Amino acid sequence: MRIALIAHDNKKEEMLQFVKTHQEQFKKHILSATNSTGKMIKENTLLDVYCHLSGPLGGDQQIGSEIATGNVDLVIFLRDPLTAQPHEPDITALLRICDVHNIPVSTNLATAEVLIHSTS
């Protein structure tokens, strides 16, 4: 599977711990991420991650484009629901494109757990 990983700043540590916990599972898949999330994962695991731009600079839109062209099968997007995001329209567009193309998307750890276990 081709899995996209995105995490808001206040959720990056949670994403890293999630990926480390499931590193053996993630090794079986092709990973992409927004820039700072991807770099963090690459620096702290043995996983290969293709990095797009950072979310606010267009990374969310790049991943959306990959979804629209059939190059993403699953999205794990740990959102921070308590902090306003200056690029909220991009986030909404990304979630919308997941719905349009019927791509499973997780916006919290509980759903991410369910999705990663479904990939085995």
Residue with tokens 């620096």: 43
Alpha-carbon gap, residue 45 to 111, rounded angstroms: 22
Query: 99 an active-site residue?
Result: no
Q: Is 11 annotated as a binding residue?
A: no
Q: Is 55 annotated as a binding residue?
A: yes
**Marked catalytic residue, from 60, 73, 80, 90:** 60
Q: Which of 20, 31, 8, 3 is nearest to 78 (CA)?
A: 8
Q: Is 54 annotated as a binding residue?
A: yes
Q: Is 8 annotated as a binding residue?
A: yes
Binding site residue list for substrate: 8, 12, 54-55, 87
Binding site residue list: 8, 12, 54-55, 87
**Residues noted as catalytic:** 60
